[in-house]
Amino acid sequence: MLEELATAYDQAGGAVPRAAAGRLAERAKILHLAAVGFHASLAGMATAGRIVEGARAGMRGFADLLMPPGCMTCGEPVSTPHSFCGDCWGALPAVSGARCRQCGVPLPVAWQAESHCLGCLKDPPPFARATAPFLYDGPARQMVLRLKHGRESWAGPMAAAMHRVAPGWVEPGRLLVPVPLHRWRLATRGYNQALLLARALARLGGAEVAPDWLLRVKHTPSTRGLTRAQRLRNVSGAFRVREGAGGQLKGRRVVLVDDVLTTGATASACAKALLRAGAEAVDLLTYARVAATDATPYLERIASEEATNQHVIAQD
């Protein structure tokens, strides 16, 4: 039976297949206890190194197949894999209403259909436009954190939400560039969550992904709790375009992909490097974003909350 389950999992490209999930529901009940034990043993495995992390993720995905589906953020039972329960769905903080036409920040008053925020009027970012389906809060923040901490398969549903709010951005001929991790961070985590989102987006819209054209050449300490000015200093000179990739960037409109937009310092540094290398324009597509351009007090609050969250997620 295990072989049959593994084949179904492989055929679905690593995602949990709906039909298979239905067929396997009965068997899953029997295997539930075994899977719970399996999860417990996974929690005890060593986490260092890409190979171990990759193997662990693969086994977690397999264990997910055996478990009845749970809400992506709270774990409550749901009928469809990779979905939200009613409460989490209702609590998703969608970005709606008037927005800055450049950085996408929600504006307090819809005095014009397309306005710039004060931040973009004073100091325009290098990216041409930015959009995100959700604010970085509630279940949307949980999704971002879980994608970073082992839930790689959440990238599919997250990319679907991003694709819906950016019509015409991800299509054949368009180039998707994920915000890169420094190789030390990549070695620890085992994967780049922005690359997972870019690949899932490319599958939806037929665009091309450039996974390693943009490099993070400077290892920057954690940016939690830093102001926008501090973050800008932190990422100064941190990114460059790979030797030889510039020719392929010339004259192309690039979509920079990341999980979350906070102060925009990282995205701005990436966009500058891409523009210097010849890109015609850079658009920024993220899953979540903060609600204000200068979000320092908000970032301080979530930094302390996330420190607690890491602990919770590590035990998940």
At its nearest, how many Å lie between Zn ion and the CB of residue 97? 14
Q: Which 3 state secondary structure label does DSSP give 136?
A: coil
User: What is the rounded CA–CA span in Å between residue 177 and residue 284?
Assistant: 10
- Residue numbers at the binding site for Zn ion (CB under 5 A): 71, 74, 76, 85, 88, 100, 102-103, 117, 120
At its nearest, how many Å lie between Zn ion and the CB of residue 125? 7
At its nearest, how many Å lie between Zn ion and the CB of residue 264? 9
Burial class (CB in 10 A: 0-12, 13-18, 19+), 160: middle
Q: Which is nearer to Zn ion, 130 or 279 (CB)?
A: 130
- Token pair belonging to 73: 């953020």
**Total residues belonging to the chain:** 316
Residue pair 107/99 in contact (Cβ under 8 Å)? The answer is: yes
Q: What type of residue sits at position 147?
A: L
| Pairing of β 239-241 and β 214-216 | antiparallel
Residue pair 284/263 in contact (Cβ under 8 Å)? The answer is: no
At its nearest, how many Å lie between Zn ion and the CB of residue 190? 26
At its nearest, how many Å lie between Zn ion and the CB of residue 100? 3
Q: Which is nearer to Zn ion, 1 or 109 (CB)?
A: 109
**Which residues, in sequence order, are CB contacts of 164 under 8 Å at separation 6+?**
133
At its nearest, how many Å lie between Zn ion and the CB of residue 82? 12
- Token pair belonging to 9: 């999992």
- Token pair belonging to 145: 């954190």
User: What is the rounded CA–CA span in Å between residue 208 and residue 171?
Assistant: 8
Q: Which is nearer to Zn ion, 54 or 77 (CB)?
A: 77
Q: Which is nearer to Zn ion, 103 or 207 (CB)?
A: 103
Q: Which is nearer to Zn ion, 31 or 88 (CB)?
A: 88
User: What is the rounded CA–CA span in Å between residue 9 and residue 16?
Assistant: 6
Q: Which is nearer to Zn ion, 76 or 305 (CB)?
A: 76
